[in-house]
Amino acid sequence: MPSSIKAIPQNKWCLVLQERMENAHSHVRLHTAQSMQRQKHYYDRKLHWEKYSSGDKVCVFFPRVQQGKSPKFTSYWKGPFTVKQKMSDINYVVDCGKKGMDQVIHVDRMRPLRSQTLIGESSEEDSLVLNTNAADQTIEKSVDSGNDDNDSNDVPEHTDKEQYVSSRPFRTKRPPQWLKDYETGN
């Protein structure tokens, strides 16, 4: 013990040490609470989530890892399921349980079910109507002509297809370095 500190009897030293530790503990608790409130404030400013209503179709995230299988191409999103009830802003009752049991799902594990329409395609309803009309036309033509052969003339041609033009440049294809002293057909 340094000589500048006056000698304190042992029983009094224990009381002083205990009081200092309690003061330090209360100081740390105060600053930790303030820090947590500040971090919560900044986190909540950036926080947003989807809002669902009853009857919406959603996919739910079930992170189930199967032993012995590679998770590389596994999709953990299951669905479509239907939202039955809104319990709070972030919890919903969804009918995705086994045997028809409803589960309370957090909004972080849900995403809305959206139809996928690729470039050059129409929606599913339009394509079904077009496909059935095209099939009816080919059947009528084959019946009218009396031929059982399927000629290329019977297939309807679509002249209004959109050509997809990429804005990205194509890569330059070069032969490998180990072929530079070898004669190729190019």
- What average pLDDT does the segment 65-80 reach? 87
Residue 154: inside a domain, yes or no? Answer: no
Q: Which domain holds residue 92?
A: 48-65+74-126
**C-beta of residue 115 within 8 angstroms of C-beta of residue 123:** yes
**C-beta of residue 52 within 8 angstroms of C-beta of residue 86:** yes
CATH assignment of the domain containing 90: 2.30.30.140
Tokens of 172: 């330059």
Read off the pLDDT of residues 94-130 as tens digits, 9 standing for 90 and up.
998 777 789 999 999 999 998 877 887 776 555 454 4
The set of long-range contacts for 7-16, using a CB threshold of 8 Å and a minimum separation of 24, is none
One domain for residues 23 and 82: no
One domain for residues 29 and 89: no
Please count the structural domains in the chain: 2
Read off the pLDDT of residues 27-71 as tens digits, 9 standing for 90 and up.
999 999 999 999 999 998 988 888 999 999 999 999 888 888 888
Considering the entire predicted model, what is its pTM?
0.47
